[in-house]
Amino acid sequence: MAEAKGSNVKKFIILGLFCALIIGAFAFLANRRPGNIDEGVKLSVVQQLLSRNLSTSYPPTPKEVVKLYSEYTRCFYGEPYTDEELEALAIKSRELLDDELVATQTDESFLVSLKSDIERYKAEGRSISSYSIASAADVEYDSFDGYEWARLSCYYSMKVGKSIVPVHEKYLLRKDFEGHWKIVGWELAQEE
């Protein structure tokens, strides 16, 4: 009887270990995070810009608006894209412009002008290799005619053939009634 009792205890211990092993394996598999299916997929610059939703994540400062607009511009003149992507990028870039500036051109005429500029840049071997925006401390703010205004500089490195040419542009922005900074215009800065 003692032998049978010892045999039952052994069976009970083995069965308990077996159950614990099964429960542990199940818990491990249930709590394991599945690998991201898109983990190996990297979005291109064009795809990243197109995936950005400006109605939910509009840039909060004049500097960030000019930075994003500069990224669109760099993309237009230096990244590979399809015709459909170019059209979508052009429409998205216009979301950063003030309504008065947008009203000066239809989407179609803007796209025609943009395509012409891009072709000219390509023919001349020009592209924007990088850009640098003035620090937030260098943004000039003002109030006029019931609006808040901001002026800041952006420095582009323009690749022309094998040379790098610096280009300094000044941007003027106005805060709209929704609190978004919009680009009113820009000009080539006169170097002192």
Domain contains 146: yes
Domain contains 172: yes
The proportion of the chain whose per-residue pLDDT surpasses 90, expressed as a percent, equals 64
Number of domain units in the chain: 1
Domain of residue 134: give its range.
45-188
Strands 140-144 and 147-160: antiparallel
Domain contains 55: yes
Q: How many C-beta neighbours within 10 Å does residue 70 have?
A: 20
Domain contains 3: no
Helix or strand holding residue 48 (H, E): helix 45-51
> What CATH number is associated with residue 145?
3.10.450
Domain contains 178: yes
Helix or strand holding residue 147 (H, E): strand 147-160
Question: H helices then E strands: how many in the chain?
Answer: 6, 5
- 108 Cβ contact partners less than 8 Å away, ≥ 6 residues apart: none
Global pTM value: 0.75
Does residue 192 register a pLDDT over 90?
A: no
CA separation for the pair 153, 150 (Å, rounded):
10
Mean pLDDT calculated for residue range 97-119: 95
Q: For the chain, how many residues are written?
A: 192
More confident residue, 13 or 162: 162
Domain contains 114: yes
Average pLDDT score over the chain? 85
Does residue 38 register a pLDDT over 60?
A: no
CA separation for the pair 116, 101 (Å, rounded):
19
Mean pLDDT calculated for residue range 101-128: 93
- 27 Cβ contact partners less than 8 Å away, ≥ 6 residues apart: none
CA separation for the pair 150, 143 (Å, rounded):
9
